[in-house]
Structure 1
Amino acid sequence: MATTFLEFISGLFGWVYFILWSLSFYPQSMLNYTRRSTSGTTVDFPLINCLGFTAYAVSNAALYYSPLIRAQYAARYKGLTPTVQFNDITFALNGIVMSIITTSQYFFPRVWGFTPSKGNKPSRFILGIFFGCIVGVIVVIFVVLGSPERDSAQGSIHSWVWLDVVYAISYVKLVVTIIKYSPQVLINYHNKSTQGWSIVQILLDFGGGILSIAQQGIDSYLQGDWSGITGNPVKFALGNVSMMYDSIFMWQHYLLYHDAEGKTDENDSLLGGSLDEERQERRID
């Protein structure tokens, strides 16, 4: 009875966090469209997200669908199965689509009818991480190709196998999550404002992180082994790292820059002044 209830709660948490995290992709692109501007934000965040969620989708799909990868996982982790759920895959796919759409608002502002603004070009730091991650995965692929036991389930215990390539791809998502928020934190600090950066997406992301970790904990408890977390460290880290950054953004928005003069509304524009100034000019005219 208790097991059935926990399985139900795990499934419920999974779909609720999937909904929260999936919805969190929409507020920023909608806010950009409403303001007809991407000012106050940087393309670094959605651009690196394109890479991160592609890696997350590929690694989750392999752990969920591939018989070979699942067999190698079971051999390495005492016969257990990966704690990847179908909603993890659909979440990642939704993330790819929305990240591409949001990135296009920075690279093609005139197509969207936006006023071009600063932050439309990716930083060298983000580009370095972007291509560095790709090179890292390629190196692991060549290492695995050189392993004679790469296609063996039992070989995963003591040798390089295709499961390690899946892990390398999944760690791309972890690296992306660790660094992707940093440029926006610095932009907010520089502007002394969170204006243009949607706090709604942060609140949704924070709620999703709590439920994601809770679901993984329940699944590991039901398996009677915490390798459900150690065997899928990226999913566990995603929730924790995201909540850490979410806390910083909430602190900036609600406490640190709450009373910033002329920048109290995230819908205001940072291009040449606030919307209040624009409205005043219209009244004078």
Structure 2
Amino acid sequence: MASWNSVQLEVLYNVLGWVAFVAWSISFYPQVILNFRRKSVVGLNFDFVLMNLTKHSSYLIYNASLFFSPTVQRQYREKFGFNEMIPVAANDVAFSMHAVLLTAFTLFQIAIYDLYIGIPGWLVQLQHYSGCYDSHQIHPQAILNFRRKSTVGFSIGNILLDFFGGVTNYGQMVVQSVDQNSWVNFYGNIGKTMISLVSIFFDILFMVQHYVLYRPKKTDDPSEPNVVSKEPLLETSDHPHSDSV
């Protein structure tokens, strides 16, 4: 069984992990608070939130299995080496649990603040996930911002904290790699590696949209009617795009 070679690096690893947990966990609240204050979800895309719930639910299953299951841990070591440390930490499991709960609550906000969608509308949108994504529609929130030429209704606080959490997560992984003199935890823990990489990439995109391309104006009206949450952005050949659900 692998163990830490440096007490200092072990402490740094845990500090970075819980800092990432705090940053990533707090990042959910600015959007929730914004929705509550506005009593509206205009500017927040339904597809984006639903995809987030799918992502975090899958990530929770992945983290919990690797952290708690001796069988899964044995399979990991058989594949990557019995001298390798399990790359999932307690902060990873805690974050995943919190992320699922807060994302589900955000979906609840969409239900109560955007009631005209209705159950039939939700079911129609869910059907779009059974098909293939168009290559130019891989991130519905980014597309919504582009179409509206605005980020009003989408919390930038969420993005800044998410970016910081992603960078800190990579820092935690680097510390473990340096201590173990092995980079297995990057490709052995591909879930954490990819979720951090994708988060950082889109966080940078959202920051460019918010601060450079579509800077907020005094004339921006957060109650504008073009709520794209009722108009799915993910199209398939079996479900043609329409103006309404």
Coarse TM-score class (shorter-chain normalised): 0.7 to 0.9
- Once residues 2 and 81 of structure 1 are traced to their aligned partners in structure 2, the CA distance between those partners, rounded to angstroms, is 12
Q: Aligned partners of 2:137, 2:92: CA distance in 1, in Å?
A: 20
Q: Which residue of 2 aligns with 1:201?
A: 158
Name the structure 1 match of 2:60: 57
2:26 counterpart letter in structure 1: L
* Cα distance in 1, alignment partners of residues 112 and 150 from structure 2: 25
User: How large is the RMSD of aligned CA atoms in angstroms?
Assistant: 3.0
Tell me the CA shift for residue 224 of structure 1: 1.9
Q: How far is 1:219 from its partner?
A: 1.0
- 1:259: how far off? 5.3
Counterpart code for 1:256:
L
Once the two structures are TM-superposed, the CA of residue 269 in structure 1 deviates from its matched residue by: 2.5
Task: Tell me: higher relative CO, structure 1 or 2? Use CA pairs within 8 A at least 6 residues apart.
Answer: 2
Matched residues in 2 for 1:180 and 1:213: separation? 27
**Contact 1:53–1:95 (Cα < 8 Å) also in 2:** yes
| 1:212 is the counterpart of 2:169 | yes
Q: 1:87 aligns with which of 91, 114, 122?
A: 91
The question of whether the paired residues in 2 share the 8 Å contact of 1:63 and 1:82 is answered with yes
Determine which of 170, 178, 183 is the counterpart of 2:140.
183
> For 2:15 and 2:126, how far apart are their aligned partners in 1?
35
Structure 1 runs not aligned, ≥5 long: 134-174, 273-285
Task: Give the deviation of 1:261 after TM superposition.
Answer: 6.1
SS at 2:40 equivalent: coil
Identity across the alignment (%): 33
Q: TM-score, normalization: structure 2?
A: 0.80
Aligned to 1:258, the other structure's residue is in SS state coil
Match of 2:223 in 1: 269
Q: Does 1:11 align with 2:14?
A: yes
Paired residue total: 219
Distance change in 2, residues 1:188/1:90 (3 Å): same
Contact kept in structure 2, 1:44 and 1:122, CA below 8 Å: no
Q: Which moved more, 1:48-57 or 1:189-198?
A: 48-57
Answer with 1 or 2: which has the greater Rg: 1
Structure 1 pair 76/51, CA: closer, same or farther in 2 (3 Å)? same
**Alpha-carbon contact 2:23-2:164 (below 8 Å) kept:** yes
Offset at 1:221? 1.9
